[in-house]
Amino acid sequence: MNRKERFARVIERFQQHMPVAETELLYRTPYELMVAVILSAQCTDKRVNMITPALLHRFPTVSDMAGSTPQEVYEYIKSCSYPNNKSKHLVGMARALLSEFGGVVPSRIEELMRLPGVGRKTANVIAAVVFNQPALAVDTHVFRVSARLGLTRNARTPLAAERQLVQYIPEKLIPIAHHWLILHGRYVCTSRKPQCHLCQLADICPYPDKNIQT
């Protein structure tokens, strides 16, 4: 099976078995998603979803967050990983949104990456989820699952993996492909003990260390 065929078969399988795939972060507006994605670095979506209701009740708008201080924000997010840095990033992000973008979350990746706390991965998530752009955020799950499935080859960095993936995935499927790979990695193709006996892609997966124990 050549690379193009492999991508086609993997995509077809995901379309069959996971026709709907969306972020598990809870949000109502681009600003709220931005807050949730910043909090989600090295932290589970479940934990983030526990934190955001009170945080966003206290800081419902960009202006509210921009007018706060990292010390105050810290109190709402201290059960998350890296609360010191993240509280600085949240306030900095809101202030930059206000001063540079009129309080509106921009759609371009280069603009998003100018905001404090927003790296390429976060910018890609916002661009894809909010603006349905062909941006593919590569997190640890996407990185691992893509390599095991033979979609990426010898990719040493998330950026290298992203470049290989977007070369073969049709543009309009890139936003959902991100969620396919994350959800598959989170619930089936887990880091230590992939559940290959439950995997809908097992017959086309070339990973040599499949876990076939039930």
Q: Single out the segment in contact with ligand SF4 by CB under 6 A; choices: 42-50, 95-103, 124-132, 196-204.
A: 196-204
Closer Cβ to ligand SF4, 37 or 142, answer by number: 142
| 8 A C-beta contact, residue 36 and residue 26 | yes
| 8 A C-beta contact, residue 146 and residue 165 | yes
Q: Provide Rg for the chain, Cα atoms.
A: 18
Place of tokens 């062909």: 134
Closer Cβ to ligand SF4, 25 or 183, answer by number: 183
Q: Which residues are catalytic?
A: 121, 139
Q: Does 207 bind ligand SF4 (CB under 6 A)?
A: yes
Q: How many residues does the chain have?
A: 214
Treating both helix axes as pointing N-terminal to C-terminal, what angle do 45-58 and 70-77 enclose, rounded to 10 degrees?
A: 130
Q: Which of 40, 199, 208, 214 binds ligand SF4 (CB under 6 A)?
A: 199
For residue 19, what are the contacts with CB-CB under 8 A and spacing of at least 6? Answer: none
| 8 A C-beta contact, residue 159 and residue 121 | no
Q: Residue 9: name the closest of 155, 200, 183 by CA.
A: 200
Q: Does 181 bind ligand SF4 (CB under 6 A)?
A: no
Q: Does 202 bind ligand SF4 (CB under 6 A)?
A: yes
Nearest approach in angstroms of CB 136 to ligand SF4 is: 18
Q: Which of 149, 161, 181, 183 binds ligand SF4 (CB under 6 A)?
A: 149
Cα distances (Å, whole numbers) of residue 42 to 39, 133, 161: 8, 24, 19
Q: Does 194 bind ligand SF4 (CB under 6 A)?
A: yes
Q: Does 138 bind ligand SF4 (CB under 6 A)?
A: no
Q: Which of 148, 161, 162, 181 binds ligand SF4 (CB under 6 A)?
A: 148
- Number of residues this chain uses to bind ligand SF4 (CB under 6 A): 13
Q: Which residues bind ligand SF4 (CB under 6 A)?
A: 148-149, 188-189, 194-196, 199, 201-202, 205, 207, 210
